[in-house]
Amino acid sequence: MRDGGERIHGGGLVDIDRGLISRDIFSSQAIYADELERVFARAWLFVGHESQIPEPGDFVLGRMGEESVIVNRDRDGRLHVFLNNCRHRGMRVCRYDHGNTRKFYCPYHAWVYSDQGALIAVPKLESGYHNELDRDEWGLIEARVSSYHGFIFACWDEATPDFETYLGDHRFYFDDYCELPDGTFGDWEALGGIFKWRMPNNWKFGAENFAGDYYHNPSHASVDQVVLSPAGVKGRHTYDTVTRKREVHKLNICITPEGHTARGELFKDDYDYMPTYQEMPVVEDWFRECYAKRQERLGEKSRWFGHGGTIFPNVSYSNGVQSMGTWHPAGPHETETWRIFLVPKAAPDEVKNVLRHYVIRYQGPSGLTEQDDMENWGYAHEGARGTIARRHPFHYGMGLGHERKGWPVDWLGGDVYATEDVSEQNQRAFYARWAAMMDTPPGAETRRPADIKAAE
């Protein structure tokens, strides 16, 4: 405890130097309450993709922390993110998952807001309020918005730097995700609908797993024995059909001090396209063509193939199945996960269909892969609750001190560390950032997360 009775997260609860993390950070109600204030109310959070709201007036509901938000494109085409909450006395002003509207009508006392957030009508303004209510002061609460290649992020805190600064050197990895298979920043199209479901574990379990946990492969022992790969062969990856030996560095990448993380493969050499969809000529041709264009466009950097990562705090993306998942906190012991999936807009229908079937069967509650993840997260969460259990920290020490900078190539980013195959460096970077934010009381200067001590 600090002087004012403040809990200190870095050190006591999150000991990066030793890779030890208190179970309390997953199960304590007090820590959870601090997270909502110090992490979620400050960070850039993913709220939707522009293709979900292509036309003026389109809206889709999103969520930031525990709270509902309206993500919309106003009559002039501008994007907004509003707290879905009436300024009068808190009723939700929008309860439809998506749609098109010029105004949001509160069902309680009928205050009406425009698609630009202005309070445009108040019943009995004259007889009830005696014209003493200044409507300009009572518009919807609006967040900062940033659309990055069509992916919409929002933030409540004016003191947080702009989104690109927030992203830091993660930009290379997120750009890789945002690029179409041909290496251009063309249009992705979100498939209709959002997977939304509840999981009985703290939100950080999903975030740290997607951050890069190649060590958890045993979780997927069952799916690897059945056919999930879209190419129709045994296994869960698209590349399970590739017969030739793939020479790659399988890397965990952490970006400091931002605490963003990525995982993927760095091919050791220039590779030609590896036949993947042999049974589906249209799909195979399309990907082959994209591959050639990508190689040419990106040059040496085309050697990097991202698998996915986590943008701190709770946004996890997966390349290939092209999903954006958000681990929304719903109390310390529950997460409400939302996930959208995207396909290249200009791709032939055959390609879109293959990708759609693959993602539905891979991720989410009906997905053969994530079902087994969630089982482990749920019961690991229970393991963070016990009185005796909480006396003993979780171990995140794998590969401690073996992180390498500027390796295997020098273009992976500045304060970026890499480890090969299995390591918990990404989790350590994630929790270093988490602890630094948690140790920054409202109004205080942001602290710098604990450094990663790299191998010489």
Partner 1 sequence: MDIGADKALLDRLLLKHAVEQFYAREADLLDSRRFQQWLDLLADDLRYWMPLNYNRPFGAWDGERSAEGRDLNWFDEGKFEIEQRVKQIMTGVHWAEEPVSRTTHMVSNVEAEAADDAIVEARCRFLLYRNRTETETDFYVGKRHDRLRRSGDSFLITRREIFLDQNVLLAKNLTTFF
* Residues lying near ligand FES in the complex (CB under 6 A): 86, 88-91, 106, 108-111
Residue 378 binding result from Fe ion, ligand FES, partner 1, none, given CB thresholds of 5 to 8 Å by partner type:
partner 1
Which residue, chain included where needed, has tokens 């059909």? 241
Place of tokens 């000529």: 281
Q: CA 201 to CA 332: how far, in whole Å?
A: 8
- Does residue 189 touch Fe ion according to CB under 5 A? no
- d(C-alpha 283, C-alpha 211), whole Å: 30
88 is in the binding site of which of partner 1, ligand FES, Fe ion, none (Cβ under 5 to 8 A by kind)? ligand FES
**Contacted by 91, from ligand FES, Fe ion, partner 1, none: CB < 5 to 8 Å by type:** ligand FES
89 touches which of Fe ion, ligand FES, partner 1, none (CB within 5 to 8 A by kind)? ligand FES
Least distance in angstroms from the C-beta of 285 to partner 1? 23
For residues 163 and 148, the answer to whether their CB atoms sit within 8 Å is yes
Q: Between 103 and 390, name the residue whose CB sits nearer to ligand FES.
A: 103
Q: Which two tokens stand for residue 255?
A: 């970006």
Q: Which residue is nearest to Fe ion (CB)?
A: 373
Out of partner 1, Fe ion, ligand FES, none, what residue 421 binds, judged by CB under 5 to 8 A for its kind, is: none
**Residue 431 and residue 378: Cα distance in Å, rounded?**
20
- List the structure tokens of 220: 């997927």
Distance CA 392, CA 378 (A): 19
Helix-, strand-, coil-residue percentages of the chain, each rounded to 5: 30, 25, 45
Cβ proximity of 27 and 33 under 8 Å:
no
CB of 450 to Fe ion, least distance (A): 27
Nearest approach, Cβ of residue 305 and partner 1 (Å)? 25
Least CB distance to ligand FES at residue 109 (A): 3
Side-chain half-sphere CA neighbours of 389 within 13 A: 16
Q: How far is the CB of 215 from partner 1 (least distance, A)?
A: 16
Smallest distance, Fe ion to C-beta of residue 325, A: 12
Q: Which is nearer to ligand FES, 92 or 144 (CB)?
A: 92
Task: List the interface residues with Fe ion, window 365-384 (CB under 5 A).
Answer: 373
State the CB neighbour count (10 A cutoff) for residue 310.
28
147 binds, among ligand FES, partner 1, Fe ion, none (CB under 5 to 8 A by kind): none
Task: State how far the Cα of 373 lies from the Cα of 290, in Å rounded to an integer.
Answer: 32
Count of Cβ atoms closer than 10 Å to residue 281 Cβ? 10
Question: What does 159 interact with, of partner 1, Fe ion, ligand FES, none (CB < 5 to 8 A by kind)?
Answer: none
Three-state DSSP string of 226-281? CECCCCCCCECCHHHHCCCCCCEEEEEEEECCCCEEEEEEEECCCCCCCCCCCCCH
For ligand FES, the closer CB: 138 or 214? 138
Q: Which is closer to Fe ion, CB of 165 or CB of 222?
A: 222
The answer, yes or no, to whether the previous bond of 441 is cis (omega within 30 of 0) is: no
- Min dist CB 92 to ligand FES, Å, is 9
Closer residue to ligand FES in complex, CB, 90/331: 90
The smaller minimum CB distance to Fe ion, of residues 373 and 439, is found at 373
Q: Find the shortest distance in angstroms from Cβ 93 to ligand FES.
A: 7
How far does Cα 161 stand from its chain's mean position? 18
Take residue 266 and report the two structure tokens written for it: 């760095």
Of 43 and 355, nearer to partner 1 (C-beta) is 355
Between 197 and 215, CB nearer to partner 1: 197
Question: Alpha-carbon Rg of the chain, whole angstroms?
Answer: 23
Nearest Cα to Cα of residue 47 among 56, 32, 60, 57: 60
Binding site for partner 1 (CB under 8 A): 95-99, 191-200, 219, 221-223, 225-228, 336, 340-341, 353, 356-357, 359-361, 364-366, 368, 371-372, 374-376, 378
Which listed option, Fe ion, partner 1, ligand FES, none, makes contact with residue 407 (CB within 5 to 8 Å by class)?
A: none
Per-residue DSSP letter, 183? S
Q: Select 376 or 446, whichever has its Cβ closest to partner 1.
A: 376
366: left (phi over 0), alpha (psi -120 to 50) or beta: alpha
123 binds, among partner 1, ligand FES, Fe ion, none (CB under 5 to 8 A by kind): none
- Of 111 and 394, the one with the shorter C-beta distance to ligand FES is 111
Residues that bind Fe ion (CB under 5 A): 373
